[in-house]
Structure 1
Amino acid sequence: MKFSENWLRQHVKTGATREELAATLTAIGLEVEEMTVLGTALEGVVVARIVECAKHPEADKLQVCQVDAGERGMLQIVCGAPNARPGLVAPLATIGTRIGELTIKAAKLRGVESNGMLCSAKELGLDADASGLLELPADAPVGAPLADYLGLPDASIELKLTPNRADCFGVRGIAFDVAAATGSAVEPLDAVPMPALHDAVLPIALNAGADAPRFLGRVIEGVDATATTPVWMAERLRRSGVRPVSFLVDVTQYVMLELGQPMHAYDRDLLKGSLGVRKARDGEALKLLNGDEARLDPQFLVITDADRVVGLAGIMGGDDTKVSNATRNVMLEAAHFAPAAIIGRSRKLGLHTDAGHRFERGVDPELPRIAIEHATRLIVEIAGGAPGPVTEAVLADFLPQPQPILLRRARLARVLGTTVADAEVARILTALGLAVATTADGWNVTPPARRFDLAIEEDLVEEIARIHGYDAIPTTLPGGATRLVNPSETRSSEHDARRQLVARDYLEAINYAFVDADLLAKWQLADGGVALANPLSAELGVMRTRLLPGLVAALARNAARQQSRVRLFEIGKTFAVASDAPLETRRIAAVACGDAADEQWGEVARKLDFHDIKGDLDSLAALSGAALEYRASAEPFAHPGRSADVYRLNEAGDGVRIGWIGQLHPRLQQALDLDADVYGFELELDPLLARALPRAAALSKYPSVRRDLAFVVPEAVSWDAMQATVRRAAGPSLRGLRLFDRYAGKGVETGFKSLAMALILQDETRTLTDRDVEAAVTEVVAALKLDHGAVIRS
């Protein structure tokens, strides 16, 4: 928000100096980003009119001008400005005036006397324009000091506002904060309703529900659209970063900057019927004031005239009904649009407008009537015309209603760590425009409609803190007992999981939760994706459904920069469409490519394979004691022979799928421009880290017995299936089961394999006998033969 210091001081009378005012604004949260001081050294600069111009006899680009300087008489000035001409009114620096580092003296330029200097805006430090003399209005008082005429000295102040302070996008809104901080009062605003001088009205229909609950209009007939924007208004606009265009356009800009309420002026004679507000229809188009054509859809809110689109609500008006110098009858519009109906619409069209910027953050729903009366008064006073009655359409049920907030005295003191006097609290809240009623415990406070940011007690505490002054709050160390929270014994910590993967040579990555929809489509993971209504960019338009696509993209960027061995992991949330709100799932994923180990002299280099990545996952599962089972996977992005779905087994031996592990499909790797094979895993974090409550048990004092068995089984039989059978058949004395050999070749029939395993048996109450061991082995052999066709290898 950029504004003129003098304009602000018109709304709030304060004795603070310019530097004190800037410091106060920053201290109360309205950070002064830039302050440009204007017109501080213009003594001796007056308004002058060029009467005659003649070519300089010795220079083609210079003119000898006879200049009327009022009481100083007629002065001869040599000038090289291209726009110097008879009748032009411009600033004149008289002899003895200091302009920057230059002191004006009587001089001869190429033999011709010059008694002063006609100035550009840049030379006077008022603007960056140095293309010619600063042109003043023809009715400017000749001989008057330029500073008095332009309302100087002044300063252009630019604030860096936070999104919650939409009320400060108007000079008057800033004035309330300044008044509260400096102990001043905001001057009353002249917004007395203008009497209607005729009956001309335009009916208004609201058909957008809560998106547009209030719309006001007024017809002003007989306006002189060619009227010149007054100097005081034009200068305030310039110092607020707005270039004056024409009076009818300038007055709506002026009211918006002063009050914070965007407005629009239509040429009444170009409107064909009643006005309305509705959702746009697919395929509708509108030529905007800037000349662009906007293609619309039902997300946009539009202003209509006999169902013809004439404006983009809350953003920009249409070209077909704009005011011009030929306009005689004006239709003024001031409306309230809900922020949700405007947010993101400008960006979708590649626009950024002052109106959209304000409506996106929230505009006071009570401002439209004040703004339309204020604008009417300015138009009638400057450009004439006869105003008609104000027409208002309102859906009262959809207007935001401020709710009272209880501010407790004890809560205020507890949060701030200090006591603020009751009188000071009431003064601050009242100065900010809040309605305050004292109660036994504190204050019942109702914020004005413009303060969308005040909703809970802590918001009021913040208001007291920033206006009372953060430097007035003593610095104290926190006291009291700290409540210690014991970590859960039924869950391993995420910190341990991170540390385990780091110990296994992985680096943690943090990726955006937003991804490109095309990337998810390549992975065939787009189903259930949550599309963003207001994405940061087209490449970040969908919430991620898995961690792997973003993590592999990070791996690819590293691989493309000469990193042949990359190992990354990430812990984060994924999102999927659900009935009420997106379903969030916390997951852990890791990816790797290149050699299994970093380059070294003590180990022969070999490429990473499935068992390496499986070992990393098993070490992670060991943190919680999770028993994992791996089954063939049908994921579309996975290599069909080198990937598996991961199941966590419960005490009953049943498995619940918690994720995936393996190599990416070669077609996907090619689509992602990956030259190396990429392995990875992704699992739901909570079931992986869950663990049984630890229970202490004594170690058996009796010896264990080991029996080694080798079985020949069909190649298709998996070890997981065999070990499940062994554990079931061996009974409670089985303490351990290890696979220590796999063989296929000479001596084993084609299509079969030999698996050698060790059974470790032990009892807690006695020493096992040979009969006990043989019985367990017999049960295992029989079960394996029955379930898998396994036979003892001879």
Structure 2
Amino acid sequence: MKFSENWLREHIQTTADRDALSAALTAIGLEVEELTPLGDGLDNVVVAEIVAAVKHPEADRLQVCEVDAGAHGRLQIVCGAPNARVGLKAPLAMVGAKIGEITIKAAKLRGVESNGMLCSTKELGLDADASGLLELPADAPVGAPLAEYLGLPDSSIELKLTPNRADCFGIRGIAYDVAAATGSEVTAFDIAPVASTIDSQLAVELNAGADAPRYLGRVIEGVDGAAKTPLWMAERLRRSGIRPVSFLVDVTQYVMLELGQPMHAFDRDLLQGPVGVRRARKGEALKLLDGRDAVVDEEFLLITDADRPVALAGVMGGYDSRVTEATKNVFLEAAHFAPAAIIGRSRKLGLHTDAAHRFERGVDPELPRIAIERATGLILDIAGGQPGPVVEAVNAADLPKPASIHLRRERIARVLGIVIDDAEIERILSALGLKVDAVADGWQVTAPPRRFDIAIEEDLIEEIARIHGYDRIPTVLPAGSARVVVSDASVVPVNDLRRQMAARDWQEAINYAFVDAAWLTKWQLQGGVALANPLSAELGVMRPMLLPGLTAALARNVARQQPRVRLFEVGRVFAPPMQAGEAPIETPRIAAIACGSARAEQWGEPDRAVDFHDAKGAVESLAAMANVALEFRRSAEPFGHPGRSADIYRVNGAGDGERIGWVGELHPGLRAQLDLDVPAVGFELDLAALSQRAPAKTEAASKYPSVRRDLSLLVPDAVSWQSLSDTVRQSAGPSLRAVRLFDRYVGKGVDSGFKSLTMGLILQEESRTLTEREVEAVVADVMAALERDHGVKIRG
């Protein structure tokens, strides 16, 4: 919220200077983000009129102007502004005036004397516009001090408001807070109703239920659409960050800044009536004031004229019914919209408007009538016209009702830790515009309808604390005793998993929980949870996996000449709820992604690229921390490389298992869509599968020797090692202790469609030494099962 300091001072009786006012605003939670002094040191700057102007004899872009400075006489000024012309009134900095860091002196410009400088708003420090001279109204008094005429000095104050303080998006709302903080009073601001002088009106109707419970309209005929915005109004708008456009538009902006109520003005002659509010229909289109075409759906509210969309309710007016300088008859409207009906609608269309910014946070439902009366009075005073009656449609039952809150004296002392006098509490609450009635143990307090943020007792205590002063609440160390918590050996702390990944040379990353829906399409992922009010179009869906965000981070690093990237993340993923109305399902996971060399650059071993087995090794190291047995089965995930990715299963005691994640290399097609030109491997696991540590089993080492038999096998390409291993374990019997794959070969001497695998069988008994016959019998059983189930043969 940006506003003029002098404008605020009109609404509050305070003697606090600029610095004290700024400090008070920040101290009560209305942080002053920027304060720009305006018009300080404009001595010897006066209103002047150009009475003659001729081309400079030595410069095409300069003019020699004769300027009337009133009591200061007529002066010759050399000026290069493109809008300098006879009859123009503009600021004149006379000799001796100091403009910024420049002191004006008499000088010769290309041989012609110049006794002062005609100024733009930028040169005066009032605005950033340097395109020409500041054009003053024709009735500006020649020779008058410019500062006096423009109401200077002043300052432009910009507040960084928290989302709950919607009432401070208007000068009046800010005034109440300043009055409470400085011990002053808010200036009375009674807006008398404007009596109608004609019967002209348009019917208004509501068809949006609780989303739009109040709508008011008024016809004003015979206005001067070409009327100029008065200087005092234009300056207040400009100092509030709004560039004046035309009077009929400016007056609605002025009332919005003053009261906090957005308004709109339609050209009455372009409306048929009745004017109403309803939900949009899917696919309806509307051309907005900025010229863009908006296509809306059922989530939007529309202002309609005989069911024809003419404005996007709470966001922006329509182009086809806008007011122009040719407008003679105006239809003013002011409404109350429920915040939930406006939140996110402007961002969905890529817009950001002052109206939506206010309606999203909540506007006083009693303001529409006050605002329409205020705007009517200003229009009649400046542009003339005859007003019709105010027509109102209201669903009283759907209007928000102020809550009556019981505030206890003891509760204030308990929460704040200090005792505040009853008189001070009543002063603070009354100064903020709250209705306060004393009761036995405290007060019964009713907040004004503009304070959407006050609903419970703690809200009132917060108001007391911030106005009384946080700096006046003493710092006291809390008392208490620490409780010693014994760690549970059956639980694997998530920080231990983080340390394990870091120890294996992975770096932790933190990504947004929101992702671009386009990412999910590229990854061929389903089930993303769309946000109702996204921060931006690129952050519109809750992530169903961690890998897309991690891969995007990896791609950004690769694009910045980082050849070796190894990232992991611990976070939550989201799935749609099981039933409507429930919260999304959150699942904690750990994921990782890597590219480049498997080892950091060094001389001790040959360089090789990170591959599937590096990612698999990281997964197995995490599983070992929880004593979890894993199986890896061929994966059909569309984002995984076929043949180089696997689904991860946790094996339970029964021999079967549950899927807990994925590991592998990303599909080349996906990498092409992501503009990632290097292979990348990664994994993603459910944390729940790793959080419970399985009981450790200890066994004494057998005193009898083990026997090893190595088998070289010809295996069809389609047969996976996991299936071979399962078959070996099932057929070898209880004497098998381990099966190890230690060689794989494809090439000369191996038939096409086959691969050579060499594995070692480790056999051992606990009570005796195995005989050669027993060993040969186990090997025979294993080979028979492998040949029967998988077509495997002994390699000759």
TM superposition score category, shorter chain reference: 0.7 to 0.9
Paired residues for 1:557-636 under 5 Å: 557-578=556-577, 579=579, 580-636=582-638
Q: Give the C-alpha shift of residue 11 in structure 1.
A: 0.7
Distance 1:333 1:54 in 2: 47
Instruction: Tell me: CA distance 1:274–1:486, structure 2 relative to 1, closer, same or farther (3 Å).
Output: farther
8 Å CA contact retained: 2:282, 2:298: yes
* Equivalent position SS for 1:757: strand
SS of the counterpart of 2:188? coil
1:260 is the counterpart of 2:260: yes
User: Offset at 1:263?
Assistant: 0.7
Please name the residue that 2:365 is paired with. 365
Alpha-carbon offset, residue 170 of structure 1: 0.8
Q: Specify every segment of 5 or more residues in structure 1 that has no aligned partner in the other structure, as ranges.
A: 763-767
After superposition, residues 357-756 of structure 1 pair within 5 angstroms as 357-525=357-525, 527-578=526-577, 579=579, 580-669=582-671, 671-672=673-674, 674=676, 676-692=678-694, 704-708=703-707, 710=709, 715=715, 716=719, 718=723, 720-722=725-727, 725=730, 730=734, 737-740=737-740, 755-756=759-760
1:78/1:112 contact within 8 Å kept: no
Cα gap change, 1:719/1:502 in structure 2, threshold over 3 Å: closer, same or farther? farther
User: In structure 1, how many angstroms separate the alpha carbons of the residues matched to 2:351 and 2:157?
Assistant: 25
Q: Could you tell me which residue of structure 2 aligns to residue 765 of structure 1? A: none
User: Does the residue aligned with 2:26 lie in a helix, a strand or coil?
Assistant: helix
Q: Aligned to 1:35, what secondary structure does the other structure show?
A: strand
Q: CA RMSD in A?
A: 4.0
Q: Hey, what does 2:204 align to over in structure 1?
A: 204
Offset of 1:685 from its aligned partner?
0.8
**Stretch of structure 1 that moved more, 176-185 or 577-586:** 577-586
Once the 2 structures are TM-superposed, how far is the Cα of residue 621 of structure 1 from its aligned partner? 0.8
Secondary structure of the structure 2 residue equivalent to 1:490:
coil
The counterpart of 2:73, out of the listed 69, 72, 75, is: 75
- 1:337-386 alpha-carbon deviations (Å, 9 max, x no partner): 23333333333444332222222222222211111111122222333333
Q: Secondary structure at the match of 1:357?
A: helix
CA shift at 1:171, angstroms?
0.7
After superposition, the Cα gap between the structure-2 partners of 1:680 and 1:59, relative to the gap in structure 1 and judged at 3 Å, is closer
Q: Alpha-carbon deviation of 1:332?
A: 0.9
SS in 2 for 1:737: strand
Is 1:223–1:330's contact at 8 Å kept on the other side of the alignment?
A: yes
Q: Residue in 2 aligned with 1:221?
A: 221
Report how far residue 584 of structure 1 moved: 1.8
Task: Decide whether the 8 Å contact of 2:303 with 2:313 is kept in 1.
Answer: yes
The aligned amino acid for 2:542 is M
> What is the CA distance between 1:457 and its match in structure 2?
3.9
Cα deviation 1:534-568 (Å, max 9, x = unaligned): 54454444332222233233334444555444332
Answer whether contact 1:658 1:688 (CA < 8 A) is retained. Answer: no
Instruction: Give the direction of change, closer, same or farther, for the CA distance of 1:760–1:561 in structure 2 (3 Å limit).
Output: farther
Equivalent AA in structure 2 for residue 231 of structure 1:
L
- Over 3 Å counting, the alpha-carbon distance change for 1:66 and 1:185 in structure 2 is closer
Question: What letter corresponds to residue 658 of structure 1 in structure 2?
Answer: I
C-alpha distance in structure 2 between counterparts of 1:232 and 1:674, whole Å = 58
SS of 1:164 mapped into structure 2: coil
**Counterpart check, 1:65 vs 2:105:** no
Task: Judge conservation of contact 2:255–2:371 (CA < 8 Å) in 1.
Answer: yes
CA contact (8 A) 1:648 1:658 kept: yes
Who is 1:285 aligned against? 285
Shift of 1:21: 0.7
- Could you say if the C-alpha distance between residues 606 and 401 of structure 1 is closer, same or farther in structure 2, counting changes exceeding 3 Å? same
Distance 2:416 2:443 in 1: 16
**Paired residue for 2:183?**
183
- The alpha-carbon distance between structure 1 residues 136 and 706, as it changes in their structure 2 partners (threshold 3 A), is same
Distance 1:488 1:445, change over 3 A: farther
What is the distance in 1 between the residues matched to 2:613 and 2:117?
86
- Say if 1:502 and 1:213 are closer, same or farther in 2 by CA, change over 3 A: same
Letter in 2 for 1:515: V
Following the alignment from structure 1 to structure 2, what is the Cα–Cα distance between the partners of residues 115 and 560? Answer: 59
Does residue 1:757 correspond to 2:761, yes or no?
yes
| Distance in structure 1 (CA, Å) of the matches to 2:681 and 2:707 | 34
> In 2, are the aligned partners of 1:711 and 1:792 still within 8 Å (CA)?
no
Contact 2:45-2:94 at 8 Å conserved across structures: yes
Q: Map residues 129-208 of structure 1 onto 2, 5 A cutoff.
A: 129-130=129-130, 132-142=132-142, 144-208=144-208
TM-score, normalising length: structure 2: 0.86
Q: How many Å apart are 1:473 and its aligned residue?
A: 1.9
Q: In structure 2, what residue type is equivalent to 1:364?
A: D
Shift of 1:123: 4.8
8 A contact 1:704–1:760 mirrored in 2: no
Q: How far apart, CA to CA, are the structure 1 residues paired with 2:750 and 2:44? A: 112
Could you tell me whether the CA contact under 8 Å between 2:570 and 2:591 is conserved in 1? yes
C-alpha separation in 2, matches of 1:698 and 1:595: 38
Deviates more, 1:563-572 or 1:494-503: 563-572
Give a deviation string over 1:228-284, Cα, whole Å, max 9, x none.
Answer: 433322222222222333332222111111001111112222211210112333443
Alpha-carbon separation, structure 2, partners of 1:741 and 1:130: 78
Secondary structure of the equivalent of 2:502? helix
* Distance of 2:181 and 2:613 partners within structure 1: 68
Question: What is the SS of the residue equivalent to 2:550?
Answer: helix
Q: Which amino acid aligns with 1:289?
A: L
Q: Which amino acid aligns with 1:41?
A: G
> Contact 1:212–1:338 (CA<8 Å) still a contact in 2?
yes
Contact 1:648 1:688 in 2 (8 A): no
Partner residue, 1:37: 37
TM-score normalised according to structure 1 size: 0.86
Deviations 1:479-500 (A, max 9, x none): 2223454444432011010111
| Structure 1 residues 421 and 647: alpha-carbon distance in aligned structure 2, compared to 1, 3 A threshold | same
| Residues 1:53 and 1:602: Cα distance change in structure 2 (over 3 Å) | closer
Partner SS, residue 361 of structure 1 = coil
Whether the aligned pair in 1 keeps the contact of 2:77 and 2:116 (CA below 8 Å) is no
For 1:503 and 1:660, locate their aligned partners in 2 and report how far apart those are by CA, in whole Å.
22
Out of 571-580 and 91-100, give the one that drifted further. 91-100
- Verify the 8 A CA contact 1:530 1:575 in the aligned structure 2: yes
Distance of 2:383 and 2:370 partners within structure 1: 20
Distance 1:302 1:507, change over 3 A: same
Distance 2:155 2:345 in 1: 34
C-alpha separation in 2, matches of 1:473 and 1:93: 51
Gaps of 5+ in 2: none
When residues 332 and 639 of structure 1 are mapped into structure 2, their CA distance, relative to the original with a 3 A threshold, is: closer
CA contact (8 A) 1:511 1:550 kept: yes
Residue matched to 1:306: 306
Identity level (%):
63
Q: In structure 1, what is the Cα distance between the partners aligned to 2:744 and 2:67?
A: 112
Change (3 A) 1:630 1:179: same
Distance 1:673 1:323, change over 3 A: closer
The whole-number CA distance in structure 2 between the counterparts of 1:388 and 1:45 is: 45
Q: Deviations over 1:13-38 (max 9, x none)?
A: 10101111111112222222222323
Higher mean Cα deviation, 557-566 or 149-158? 557-566
Question: What's the CA shift for 1:656?
Answer: 1.4
Confirm or deny: 8 A CA contact 1:265 1:330 kept in the other structure: yes
Q: Using a 3 Å threshold, how does the CA distance of structure 1 residues 711 and 139 change in structure 2: closer, same or farther?
A: closer
The separation in 2 between residues aligned to 1:744 and 1:153, in whole angstroms, is: 85
Rounded to whole Å, the distance in 2 between the matches of 1:516 and 1:14 is: 50
Shift in Å, 1:175: 0.5
The alpha-carbon deviation at position 439 of structure 1 amounts to 4.5
